[in-house]
Amino acid sequence: MCYHISNTKPKAKELEDRFEATFEFPEVYEPYYHFNGWETKNLYIIRQDDPETIDVASWGLLPSYYDLSERSSFLKRTNTLNATKERLFESQLFSQFIEWQRCLIIADGLFEPHKDPEIKGSIPYYFKKQDHGLFAFAGVYSVIDDGHTPLYSASIITTEANPMFKKIHNSPNSKGSYRMPLILDPSDEYEWLHCNNNTDIVKTLLHTFTKEPIETYSVSQDIFKRVDSNRKDIIDRIEY
Model confidence at 154: pLDDT above 80:
yes
pLDDT at res. 144 = 92
What average pLDDT does this structure show over 46-69? 96
Model confidence pLDDT, tens digit, residues 155-192: 999 999 999 999 999 999 888 999 999 999 999 999 99
pTM, two decimal places:
0.97
- Using pLDDT thresholds of 50, 70 and 90, give the confidence band for residue 102: very high
Strand-pair partners of 5: 35, 110
pLDDT at res. 148 = 77
- Using pLDDT thresholds of 50, 70 and 90, give the confidence band for residue 212: very high
Model confidence pLDDT, tens digit, residues 111-143: 999 999 999 999 999 999 999 999 999 999 999
Strand (E) or helix (H) holding 13: helix 12-19
- Using pLDDT thresholds of 50, 70 and 90, give the confidence band for residue 149: confident
Q: Distance (Å, rounded) from C-alpha 211 to C-alpha 184?
A: 9
What average pLDDT does this structure show over 43-72? 96
Q: Across the chain, what does the average pLDDT equal?
A: 96
pLDDT at res. 174 = 84
Q: Distance (Å, rounded) from C-alpha 36 to C-alpha 38?
A: 5
pLDDT at res. 197 = 83
Cα four-point dihedral sign 107, 113, 114, 119:
positive
pLDDT at res. 216 = 98
Q: Count of CB atoms within 10 A of residue 50's CB? A: 13
pLDDT at res. 218 = 98
Model confidence at 1: pLDDT above 90:
no
Instruction: State the architecture of 4-235 in CATH terms.
Output: Alpha-Beta Complex (3.90)
The one-letter amino acid code at 123 reads I
- Using pLDDT thresholds of 50, 70 and 90, give the confidence band for residue 146: confident
Proportion of the chain above pLDDT 70, given as a percent: 100
- Contact, 109 vs 126, CB < 8 A? yes
Sequence ranges of the domains in the chain: 4-235
Q: Distance (Å, rounded) from C-alpha 126 to C-alpha 237?
A: 8
What average pLDDT does this structure show over 95-109? 97
Model confidence pLDDT, tens digit, residues 9-27: 999 999 999 999 999 899 9
